[in-house]
Structure 1
Amino acid sequence: MMKFWSKASALGMAMVISACGQESSEQLATQPTSSAAEFELPIPISNNAVALAEGPDGPTLYSFNGLKSGKGWQDTSNAAFACIISIKDCEEIASVPVDEGRLASSAVTLAGKIYLFGGYTVAEDGDEVSTPEVFAFDPETQEYQRLADMPTPVDDMVALPYRGRYIYLVSGWHDEGNVSLVQLYDAEFDTWSIATEFPGKPVFGHAGGIANHSMIITDGVAVAGLVDGKRKFAAAPFAWRGDIDPGDPERITWRAIDAHPGGSQYRMAAMGDGDRGMILFAGGGDNPYNFDGIGYDGVPAKPTDRVFGYDLKADRWAELGKLAEPSMDHRALVKSGDDYYIMGGMDADQAVTARIMKFRIDD
């Protein structure tokens, strides 16, 4: 994740498919188109939790929390925004009801409501704390409801919806280190349980999605030991597939799969698309970084313009195209109709942006 002092004191492409370590190329039958959307967020914001839900005026993109353009500890935000797709208009809405801004929180839409999880705060002295709060946001009333706290507060985790009732929180950072936990929230009863532990190296800033009964978790940052008493962080270029027992959502059968081609990426925008039977990934940074976009090794992170996916039925990766512009520092990818959206983030100069990008993969 982006822990401050506590961690650091397009078109015309060929599809590349990788299975069992082998790569081959196939010409894309249809090619993705990407562009900047015709509307922007009211302010530049990055590392924001995003979701899509049916608002009073139709399908609406929502953004919660995140980092403003100053990129300092004081620029953490609890602001929220709603962007109505049909009229291409964004406005500020009621802020998340917390006293301090949050970074690396996650949002998931379930049965018409948006569930907002965790994040972390940054104090002036660099102290960082993972926060336990869970809220349900109602797009119709624009009101927040406080729900049962996370048993283990995490941030920079992957949050995945399942069967219109459950939400998985996979791995992530808790105060002083990464955890292997898979925490399972039951929205029907506002209760928590623990699902089968994530078997990979615990990470933060990873990405993933869920479709039908399967999830893909890839990349992220692991603790790679201590140097002069300080944690050293390294990219974790791995990928895992988790298949959920349809009769018991707490039971997940995990297996390692090939890492995706092109090298590990940090904080990609990702989601599962059940209609395609695919988990999609877009953007991301090439070097694990603090929340200012500068790598833990002192090298500025550079964003990618890649769009790729994992075909669950074929059990292989597919290279799908390019974004209109490289982008990084994302929490999720969202979809409305045939269009996929990325909200905010950082550009090639590690500058926080208000840009909204969209792309489409035609059948």
Structure 2
Amino acid sequence: MRVIGSALTLILSGLAQASGTAAPSLRWETLAPMPIGVQEIYPAVHGGRLVVAGGLSSELPAAQGHLSDALQIYDPASGRWSLGPRLPEGRHHAQLLSLAQSLYLIGGFVRCEGGDWCASREVLRLDDGSARWQRLGALPQALTESTAFVQQGQIHLVSGRSPRGEANAQWGDHGDVAWHWVYDAKADRWRALADGPEIKSSAAALVTGEQAWLIGGRQYNGANLRSVHRLDAASGRWQAEAPLAFAQAAHGVGLLGGADQPLICSVGGETAENGGGMLGQVQCRALKEGRWQVMGEMPEPRHGLGVLSLNGQLYAIGGARQPGLTQTSPRLDRLSLSPSSTRP
């Protein structure tokens, strides 16, 4: 395990002033790398472990579409990775979610006749203790690069990309959507809600209590978005929140810090502006305050990574060091929020 020094940490003085405590700072640790480095992943926390399903990798053979069918599991207690039951086939940009005693893998791209970017309608489930994934009822329509979360025991999918017409084999065959679907796992049934706040894909989401947050993303023309929206479970309405400090897509978000003063932090991503490149800055906001601030840098900027929250810490998993399917990384970094000895 390698600790990234405090030179990469900046002070979020507003939090310290509000609480009268030492200003928080970022602390990165590099943990054991993944067995198979992958990108374009949407992992999940399940049973206190980090779980990654499928993904793309520049290090896997082109003959198999650079696709992974592996289920990779990291146990923070032991610091070790293991492999679980393989997927029925490799896929990327699929949403993995934990609900009760099962994992659900939804949509994404699979190989098909004519290309490696066939948007899928499949819903797969892996029950605890099972050695095989089950196929469930299909999505209303094929959907990929969506944003997913669990709220009040149901799975939500918001926005993403879906085939514009009959063609469904290349990335350019798909367009952005604003759909918002809810899945009742007990009934194995989907229902449509009113569309989400924006037509976009490659956004990120998290849930805080009765609120779900939809953060960033991009639109088909390549422009990243600064928009942030919050969904209230009781009213079912989306409300615009303060925008990001900078536009972000192909990133991940999570809660950092203790329950008394958690931060929402957004990590990683890529941009098509100015010739394209990686986004290495970490931006955060206090859960109860509206302003986003840049707090520091990632030790290795990546896009298409997975970001998960567990026990007040963030885990940045995999991704790619360069735009596109280039230099896929097996890296696993952990981000903690620790008091600084410096007071504002």
Give the equivalent residue in structure 2 for 1:48.
41
Instruction: Give, as a single letter, the amino acid of the residue that structure 2 aligns with 1:140.
Output: G
User: Runs of 5+ in structure 1 lacking a partner?
Assistant: 1-9, 18-26, 224-232, 289-296
Give the equivalent residue in structure 2 for 1:167.
155
User: Runs of 5+ in structure 2 lacking a partner?
Assistant: 1-6, 15-20, 164-173, 340-344
Give the equivalent residue in structure 2 for 1:150.
139
For residues 13 and 81 of structure 1, do their structure 2 counterparts lie closer, same or farther at Cα, with a shift above 3 Å needed?
same
Q: Distance in 2 between matches of 1:309 and 1:75?
A: 33
> Would the aligned equivalents of 1:16 and 1:318 in 2 still touch at CA under 8 Å?
no
Give the equivalent residue in structure 2 for 1:219.
216
CA deviations over 1:42-82 (Å, ceiling 9, x no partner): 1221112311212xxxx322111111224757212222212
Q: CA RMSD in A?
A: 2.8
Q: 2:232 aligns with which of 238, 244, 263?
A: 244
Residue 265 (str. 1) matches residue 248 (str. 2): yes
1:357: Cα distance to partner? 1.0
Instruction: Give, as a single letter, the amino acid of the residue that structure 2 aligns with 1:255.
Output: Q
1:14-25, aligned counterparts within 5 Å? 14-15=11-12
**Length-normalised TM-score, structure 1:** 0.77
1:211: Cα distance to partner? 1.2
Helix, strand or coil: the match of 1:235? coil
For residues 12 and 354 of structure 1, do their structure 2 counterparts lie closer, same or farther at Cα, with a shift above 3 Å needed?
closer
Identity %: 22
Residue 32 (str. 1) matches residue 21 (str. 2): no
For residues 70 and 319 of structure 1, do their structure 2 counterparts lie closer, same or farther at Cα, with a shift above 3 Å needed?
same
Instruction: Give, as a single letter, the amino acid of the residue that structure 2 aligns with 1:197.
Output: D
1:53-68, aligned counterparts within 5 Å? 53-54=46-47, 59-68=48-57
For residues 215 and 315 of structure 1, do their structure 2 counterparts lie closer, same or farther at Cα, with a shift above 3 Å needed?
farther
CA deviations over 1:74-123 (Å, ceiling 9, x no partner): 2122222122222222123221123xx21211111122422211101245
Q: Distance in 2 between matches of 1:90 and 1:319?
A: 31
Give the equivalent residue in structure 1 for 2:119.
130
Helix, strand or coil: the match of 2:270? coil
> Would the aligned equivalents of 2:160 and 2:202 in 1 still touch at CA under 8 Å?
yes
1:182-197, aligned counterparts within 5 Å? 182-197=180-195
**Length-normalised TM-score, structure 2:** 0.81
Give the equivalent residue in structure 2 for 1:337.
311
Out of 109-118 and 125-134, give the one that drifted further: 125-134
For residues 270 and 12 of structure 1, do their structure 2 counterparts lie closer, same or farther at Cα, with a shift above 3 Å needed?
closer
Instruction: Give, as a single letter, the amino acid of the residue that structure 1 aligns with 2:206.
Output: G
Q: Distance in 1 between matches of 2:92 and 2:41?
A: 7
1:272: Cα distance to partner? 5.3
Structure with the larger strand share: 1
Helix, strand or coil: the match of 1:316? coil
Give the equivalent residue in structure 2 for 1:96.
87
Instruction: Give, as a single letter, the amino acid of the residue that structure 2 aligns with 1:313.
Output: K
Instruction: Give, as a single letter, the amino acid of the residue that structure 2 aligns with 1:15.
Output: L
Give the equivalent residue in structure 2 for 1:346.
320
Instruction: Give, as a single letter, the amino acid of the residue that structure 2 aligns with 1:134.
Output: V
Instruction: Give, as a single letter, the amino acid of the residue that structure 1 aligns with 2:106.
Output: F
* Equivalent pairs, count: 312
Q: Distance in 1 between matches of 2:130 and 2:22?
A: 44
> Would the aligned equivalents of 1:120 and 1:130 in 2 still touch at CA under 8 Å?
yes
Helix, strand or coil: the match of 1:321? strand
Helix, strand or coil: the match of 2:72? strand
